[in-house]
Amino acid sequence: MKLDATQRAVLLRDPAGWIACGFGSGLSPIAPGTAGSLAALLPWVALRELSWPGYLAVIMLAFALGVWACARVVDKLRIEDPGFVVWDEFVGQWIALMPLLWVPFRWWLLAAGFALFRLFDIVKPWPVSWADRRVKGGFGVMLDDVLAGIYAAIVVVVLTYFMG
């Protein structure tokens, strides 16, 4: 969905808008969800240095921040789960990459985690599809991507087990 000038001004006038649109990455004219997931890799480089409890705490705080920011954007613009809102992709991507905290870094695992998250976010297997259709507001915007991230993380764990 393309924003008109008034909607863009409303979005970028509010700190919640900046957060919800992934600091501008969600405003990409092509594949904003993928652009948001790519942008999420930048802070992930720093996040991967945390202990797993610290990483989990950041994810929980980012989720809560996302519920707030996405709810504000949905309420202000009256658009349910707009494509330019990509903070949910940030959190989902970080969840998908969480297993990389426990294994030596491998580029192919990073690429697999990224691709698997995008796949599950787009295809939306159950319960991702259920959450996408049934849960509304800021919590709903965030929940389906969290579930997609969990699916991707599970597959990344399986990959690391079988492919070492």
The angle at the Cα of 36, spanning 78 to 97, to the nearest 5 degrees, equals: 125
The whole-angstrom separation of Cα 142 and Cα 92 is 8
Q: Which two tokens stand for residue 52?
A: 């797993």
Looking at 14-127, list the stretches that DSSP marks H as alpha helix, in order from N- to C-terminal side. 15-20, 32-47, 52-77, 87-96, 107-123
Q: Which two tokens stand for residue 6?
A: 């008034």
Q: Which amino acid is it at 26?
A: G
Reported as a single tens digit per residue, the pLDDT across 4-26 is 777 778 788 899 999 999 999 99
For residue range 38-88, what is the model confidence (pLDDT) as tens digits? 999 999 999 999 999 999 999 999 999 999 999 999 998 888 778 899 999
